[in-house]
């Protein structure tokens, strides 16, 4: 076990581990730390805590010190510089006719580098743009192409649920989301209904998946052969959350399926969740 503190550099950014160096920090403290891209000012997101060695990437950098008033002034000045850099870069992108969309700008704490984040459908030759930016800001320029999920996280907005984006509120990392998850959760495989504003599968599918996987372990799937109190039958519909199944009895094939609690049926041969090729083709590109 090792003692660490968690530091974040954005409002909803990833939390990084640093060594507290035998000092105690409170959540919300502003600190100066050494990172892979130089000295940065961050916020304590997780107080002193012991974590397994397997969760730490060595060497673990130490927190230099608590941020003072001068550091806070520099940070605020950098935020203003970022806004100015965004407007200037956006103007130059239009002048050069580059096929790219500027999303965000970050200025390192010591001013040694400015990072420009952008999206584009393909590769962009931004060499001329970098020369112009470097000449204007007199510092090192770095261009980073990001995906649509990262763009949504940076810009923020409201999802179809009416709440702010999960990625912009509390998610520090993106997790893989698949069509199979939507199928297992009984959702309509309509791209407009299972996609977020970013055009990819909604992140909340992953958030709820653990619950559905737990319930699926004890619930017969559609197509399963089961034994009921009225005889054998095939499951034609399930309600995972309610814990019920609709069964078409073999001895009454023309009658309406009966509704049973999953506790009252015995699985003889379970079914499988399937996504046909036409559905996969229609949903291609949103995972």
| Cα(73)–Cα(111) distance, integer angstroms | 13
Give the pLDDT of residue 125: 92
Measured CA to CA, the distance from residue 239 to residue 269 in angstroms comes to: 19
Q: Which domains does the chain carry?
A: 2-67 (no CATH), 73-146 (3.30.300.20), 222-269 (2.30.30)
CA-based nearest residue to 110, from 218, 34, 38: 38
Comparison of pLDDT for 181 and 142, the residue scoring more: 142
3-state helix, strand, coil in the chain (%, to 5): 30, 30, 40
* Mean pLDDT confidence for 2-30: 85
pLDDT, mean over the chain: 86
Confidence of residue 274 (pLDDT cuts 50, 70, 90): low
Quick one: tokens of 225? 């052969």
3-state SS, one letter per residue, for 249-261: ECCCCCCCCEEEE
Local confidence band at 171 (pLDDT 50, 70, 90 cut-offs): confident
The pLDDT, as a whole number, for residue 100 is 93
**pLDDT value for 203:** 86
User: Which helix (H) or strand (E) covers residue 152, if one does?
Assistant: helix 148-155
Could you tell me if 172 and 223 are in contact, meaning their C-beta atoms sit under 8 angstroms apart?
Answer: no
In tens, the pLDDT along 129-154 reads 999 999 999 999 999 999 888 888 88
Other C-beta atoms within 10 Å of 277: how many?
7
Prediction pTM value: 0.69
- Give 242-245's long-range contacts (Cβ < 8 A, gap of 24+): 243/215, 243/219, 245/219, 245/220
> Buried b vs exposed e over 95-106: b needs ≥16 C-beta within 10 Å?
eeebebebbbbb
């Amino acid at each position: 076990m090792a003692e660490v503190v968690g530091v974040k550099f954005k409002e909803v950014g990833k939390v990084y581990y640093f060594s507290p160096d035998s000092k105690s920090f409170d959540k919300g403290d502003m600190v100066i730390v050494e990172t892979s891209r130089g000295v940065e000012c961050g916020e304590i997101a997780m107080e002193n805590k012991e974590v397994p060695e397997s969760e730490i990437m060595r060497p673990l950098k130490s927190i230099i010190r608590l941020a003072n008033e001068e550091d806070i002034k520099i940070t605020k000045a950098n935020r203003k510089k970022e806004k100015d850099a965004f407007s200037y870069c956006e103007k130059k992108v239009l002048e050069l006719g580059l096929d790219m969309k500027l999303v965000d700008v970050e200025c390192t704490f010591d001013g040694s580098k400015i990072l420009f984040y952008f999206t584009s459908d393909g590769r962009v030759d931004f060499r001329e743009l970098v020369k112009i930016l470097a000449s204007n800001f007199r510092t090192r320029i770095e261009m980073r192409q990001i995906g649509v999920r990262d763009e949504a996280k940076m810009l923020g907005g409201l999802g179809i649920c009416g709440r702010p984006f999960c990625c912009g509120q509390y998610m520090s990392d993106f997790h893989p989301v698949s069509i199979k998850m939507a199928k297992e959760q009984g959702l309509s495989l309509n791209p407009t209904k299972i996609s977020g504003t970013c055009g990819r599968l909604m992140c909340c599918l992953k958030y709820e998946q653990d619950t559905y996987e737990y319930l699926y372990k004890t619930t017969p799937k559609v197509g399963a052969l089961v034994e009921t109190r009225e005889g054998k039958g095939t499951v034609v519909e399930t309600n995972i959350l309610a814990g019920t199944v609709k069964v078409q009895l073999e001895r009454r094939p023309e009658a309406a399926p009966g509704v049973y609690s999953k506790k009252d049926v015995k699985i003889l041969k379970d079914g499988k969740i399937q996504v046909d090729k036409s559905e996969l083709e229609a949903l291609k590109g949103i995972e």
